Copies of this chain bind each other. A is one copy, B any other.
Amino acid sequence: MDKILVFGHKSPDTDAVTSAISFSYLQNQLGLDTEAVALGEIGEETTFALNYFNVNKPRVVTTVSNEVKQVMLVDHNESQQSVEDIEKVEVLSVVDHHRIANFQTANPLYYRAEPVGCTNTIILKLYKEHGVTVPKDIAGIMLSAIISDTLLLKSPTCTDIDIASAKELAEIAGVDLENYGIELLKSGTKTSDKSAEDLLNADAKSFPMNKKTVRIGQVNVVDVNEIIIRKEELLEAMKVQSGIQGYDLFILLITNVLENDSTAIVYGDHFKEVSEALNSSIKDNVIFLKGIVSRKKQVVPQLTVKFEN
């Protein structure tokens, strides 16, 4: 039996890394030979979660067709967010909670998407459907992903089923949901030791919108000002990346995880579209976004609609 690699999106966040681990574990229990890998450096929040529950960091890969013929995708489907050589392997299954775009297969496959807050919420369902018990350590990292993706159950992407899943996983993992949640969110917010590139790349995704490429990064903080004072340095780095990668618009969302608002630094063209789509004005490349914490639900669809009409 040939090995199958399982991975989340590039610039992996906690859900991308841990859903690969939890889904790989499930598939192995069902008799397959899979390995979870990551498509980029494991961030601080994810490292905190893996260490807390004594789970090994997955291997980082940049290509997959040199070692396997088949893969399983978690927490993404769009090819520009996936591994470089995705066209050279067969996608056997996808578990995701995002829109579907730029995804194509030659053969029928397993595809399981639900509009919930976190991929691991869907994976918990899959464990139950297959009658597989979630081990304590896996429960801990799955819980961490739900906390991370929903900002401790407060994001507008959070559904009742995410809340129920988080409670159930906290019970199995043996942690207090609220206390562990705040500790986890804070672990990912230290920015003073990070370069502008680190901040831009930490959790960034590209979205094609009507022939334009929109790059949207997100960084979680407990104090927005520690990023805003570095605006000029960040704009310079956004300019360099946009020149190399051809981004038409670059947005860095700076999200206050305790207050559940964001401020964004914007570089490139299309400021008018951004202002209109997000209902707020841009001043000196900065826009305040009251109540906005979810790129997927509160930023990408609004920009997509604006760009495509």
Task: List residues of chain A with CB under 8 Å of any chain B CB.
Answer: 97-115, 129, 296-297, 300-301, 304-305
Contacts and interface: CB of A to CB of B under 8 A. Distances in A.
7 closest A-B pairs by beta carbon, nearest first, are A111-B113, A108-B115, A101-B104, A99-B105, A106-B304, A106-B301, A111-B111
A89 to B, nearest CB: 14
A99 B110 contact: no
Given A100-B100, A129-B129, A115 B107 contact: yes
Contact of A115 (B110, B296, B301, B305): B110
Given A99-B108, A108-B113, A108-B114, 5 more contacts: A97-B108, A99-B105, A109-B113, A112-B112, A129-B129
29 contacts: A97-B108, A98-B108, A99-B105, A99-B106, A99-B107, A99-B108, A99-B109, A100-B103, A100-B105, A100-B109, A100-B111, A101-B104, A101-B105, A102-B104, A103-B103, A106-B300, A106-B301, A108-B113, A108-B115, A108-B296, A108-B297, A109-B115, A110-B113, A110-B114, A110-B115, A111-B112, A111-B113, A112-B112, A112-B113
Contacts of A301: 106-107
A183 B101 CA distance: 42
Given A111-B111, A112-B112, A106 B305 contact: yes
Number of copies: 2
A278 to B, nearest CB: 15
Contacts of A129: 129
Contacts of A109: 99-100, 113, 115
Contacts of A300: 106
A255 to B, nearest CB: 19
Nearest to A99: B105
Contacts of A114: 108, 110
A28 to B, nearest CB: 20
A100 B104 contact: yes
A106 B102 CA distance: 12
Nearest to A97: B108
A135 to B, nearest CB: 24
Nearest to A209: B106
Nearest to A128: B129
From A97, A100, A113, residue with most partner B Cβ within 10 Å: A100
A303 to B, nearest CB: 10
A239 B181 CA distance: 65
Contacts of A100: 100, 103-105, 109, 111
A114 B109 CA distance: 6
Nearest to A302: B106
Nearest to A105: B99
